[in-house]
Amino acid sequence: MARSIPFVSLKPILESCRREWQERLAATIDRAWFILGEEVAAFEREFAQFCGSSFATGVGSGTAAIEIALRLSGIARREQQVITSPLTAPFTGQAILAAGATPVFADIDEDTLLLDPRSVAEKITPQTAAILPVHLYGQTCDLAALSDLAARSGAVLIQDACQAHGAVYNGRPLGAYSSLIAYSFYPTKNLPCLGDGGALLSNDAEQDRLARLLRDGARTPGHVSIMPALNSRLDEIQAALLRVFLRHLPEWNEERRQRAAVYDRELAEIPPEWVRPVGRTARGSHVMHLYVVRAARRQQLMEYLAGHGIGTPIHYPAPLHRQPAFETQDSCPVAERAAAAVCSLPLWPGLSEDDVKFVARQIWKFYLG
């Protein structure tokens, strides 16, 4: 039988704690209360504590979390600019558009592919209202430099941590560098739910109060809406699952790091002009959401690996500043080069060390012919 190594599989984590989530799910269904009930409230408390923030507001997606963060910061007009990375999922940019602001794309670091503070500094104007770094692939951006830029320019720093559940920066929680942090619980994330979901973390009680209003149509008693708002709520079933999965997140993150270390060893001697893993910094705790490499002859490599049962998608094939929804005059040559070369190797809790070695061997065989 041919070997099959999908890019991602949720089956191992679901099996590893099946009894726990089944019991939690059954209790939730028995209560027959599915929107903004005790499971959401409990998860919000537990997730905020886990992340080292004061408050968490459960919402329908990471996109909604970013949009709400922008609106809480008074950013809702087209003339207000939000500087972010062009190498990210389109939803980062869509959240800026949904809030009513204008995305501006700064370039990324050549080694880590994270938002480059030097490029951000060049893009700051009097219209800059926010800086929105993306903690790409599970690694934190240079929050010290970016928070300093935000403070000096009068901009708000809002973090897109949708790929960085459990990451810290210089040993401190992300909330030490800015109040507002957005997370996604899409099924392939390090902390997944089994549908869409997200959360906005904050350290300010008033921000938390307003976030709860905004996610629920800004309704007050009597179903009276007091401001333009969203309908974007984390539901009870997803929260129940997330409460179980959160308890296992540290061990799952550690397993990701261990498998990434195997890739590191197995690919260490491969010429960098063939395959070069994305660089890492010493300042953050990489949670290895993705193991991404830059590869020569990328398309042929991906086809070769697919022929051996190995899934390898691209994160991300088109930088945002070149997509029709966001097309600007921004110049981001590093992001364009990266987008033309990156691909992601299989990495998930439950992936065996032998499977990782098999993937690495096939990469070697492709280039050696």
In a domain, 2, yes or no: no
Last residue of a domain, one of 198, 228, 243: 243
Q: Are 290 and 263 a contacting pair, CB within 8 Å? A: no
Of 202, 193, 326, 316, nearest to 249 by C-alpha is 193
Q: What pLDDT shows up at residue 361?
A: 98
Residues 166 and 293 in one domain: no
289 with 144, same domain: the answer is: no
Residue listed under structure tokens 């987008």: 339
Residues 135 and 62 in one domain: yes
Instruction: Give whole-number Cα distances, 272 to 107, 340, 367, in Å.
Output: 22, 16, 12
Cα 25 to Cα 15: distance, rounded to the nearest angstrom: 15
How many angstroms separate the CA atoms of 320 and 323, rounded? 5
CB atoms within 10 A of CB 130: 27
The answer to whether the beta carbons of residues 133 and 180 sit under 8 Å apart is: no
- The CATH number for 182's domain is 3.40.640.10
What pLDDT was estimated at residue 1?
57
pLDDT of res. 210: 98
Q: Does residue 5 lie in a domain region?
A: no
Q: Is residue 344 part of a domain?
A: yes
**155 and 19 within one domain:** yes
pLDDT of 283 reads 85
Question: Do 275 and 185 lie in a common domain?
Answer: no
Q: What is the DSSP letter of 351?
A: -
What is the domain range of residue 289?
A: 249-368
Distance CA 53, CA 183 (A): 13
Q: Residue 243: what residue type?
A: R
CB 242 within 8 A of CB 197: yes
Residue 263 and residue 219 share a domain: no
**261, part of any domain:** yes
Best CA proximity match to 64, nearest among 193, 220, 185: 185
User: Of 243, 276, 291, which marks where a domain is finished?
Assistant: 243
Please say which residue of 214, 243, 272 terminates a domain.
243
Q: Nearest Cα to 334, choosing from 73, 113, 141, 168?
A: 113
**Does 1 fall in a domain?**
no
- Find the angle CA(157)-CA(161)-CA(163) to the nearest 5 degrees: 155
Classify burial at 188, counting beta carbons within 10 Å of its beta carbon; exposed 0-12, middle 13-18, buried 19 or more. Answer: middle
Is the same domain home to 129 and 192? yes
Say if residue 153 is in the same domain as residue 271. no
pLDDT in tens, the chain (369 residues): 579 999 999 999 999 999 999 999 999 999 999 999 999 999 999 999 999 999 999 999 999 999 999 999 999 999 999 999 999 999 999 999 999 999 999 999 999 999 999 999 999 999 999 999 999 999 999 999 999 999 999 999 999 999 999 999 999 999 999 999 999 999 999 999 999 999 999 999 999 999 999 999 999 989 999 999 999 999 999 999 999 999 999 999 999 999 999 999 999 999 999 999 999 998 878 999 999 999 999 999 999 999 999 999 999 999 999 999 997 888 999 999 999 999 999 999 999 999 999 999 999 999 998
| C-alpha dihedral (269, 270, 275, 281), degrees to nearest 10 | 0
- The DSSP bridge pattern shows strands 180-184 and 219-220 to be unpaired
- The answer to whether residue 287 is domain-embedded is yes
Same domain? For 235 and 257 the reply is no
Q: Are residues 233 and 286 in the same domain?
A: no
In a domain, 141, yes or no: yes
Q: Say yes or no: 19 and 161 in one domain.
A: yes
Number of domains in the chain: 2
Closest CA to 302 of 273, 344, 239, 265: 344
Q: Report the pLDDT value the prediction gives residue 284, as an integer from 0 to 100.
A: 76
Tell me, yes or no, whether 102 lies in a domain.
Answer: yes
Query: For residue 340, what is the domain's CATH number?
Result: 3.90.1150.10
95 and 183 housed in the same domain:
yes
